[in-house]
Homo-oligomer: A and B are copies of this chain.
Amino acid sequence: MLVEEREISQAVIRRLPRYYRYLGELLENGVERISSNDLSKRMKVTASQIRQDLNNFGGFGQQGYGYNVKYLYTEIGKILGLEEDHNIVIIGAGNLGQALANYAAFEKRGFILKGIFDVNPRLNGVSIRGVPIRMMDELKDFVQNNNVEIAVLTIPKEKAIEVANMLVENGVRAIWNFAHTDLNLPDHIIVENVHLSESLMRLSYNISRYNDEHSGKK
């Protein structure tokens, strides 16, 4: 029997969490059902796109009725893997690392913070939300012994590549990368980049473009 693996495009995957967020809000507001048309107006996308996107994963709606909000919310949550638990560590307890460590919504989505690591001896033993900061030389052992699936990298780019390689060799499966560099890891390793400086440059570009257009410049 041939198992047909439909490949879902990254464009679709990028939109899924946004659907999930809107459905979550509808749910909070007690809305029971919604049509692709109503949702499309709220989200400012086409109804056609919503239906196409959802039908990549199955038929969640009902003709003449629309979509049941609660059901669709749950199903998208499953698709996004939010019903599974993932052990994570944060590497780099600087401002950003601490900000992420304090991000309480982690646990709600199944991300369990197992450890925080830094090179700064002054942070040794300091706890964030009950999780003590450990020194980098303990990292390798820790990863091997705690079933760590995801590592969050909030360290300078010079160290990031080397640390990422070490993590992958010791079983880490995915990296949430905040370092200002690309990591070039094996294909089966999942990398999600958050390059804040690039985000800021896009903002900057769009301001400049607008200024040009409204000042007679070509």
Question: Which residues of A come within 8 Å of B, CB atoms?
Answer: 3, 5, 8, 13-14, 16-18, 20-21, 79-82, 84, 86, 94-96, 98-100, 102-103, 105, 109-111, 149-150, 173-174, 176, 180, 188, 190, 192, 194-210, 213, 218
Taking CB atoms, residues of chain B closer than 8 Å to A18 are 195, 198
Looking at A79, A98, A196, A203, which has the most chain B CB atoms within 10 Å of its CB?
A203
Which residues of B have CB within 8 Å of A100? 196
Number of copies: 2
Residues B201 and A103 in contact, CB atoms below 8 Å apart: no
Complex interface: chain B residues within 8 A of A17 (CB): 195, 197-198, 201-202
A196 smallest CB distance to B (angstroms): 7
B198 with A192: CB separation less than 8 A: no
Closest B residue by C-beta to A94: B99
A86 to B210, CA, bound (A): 14
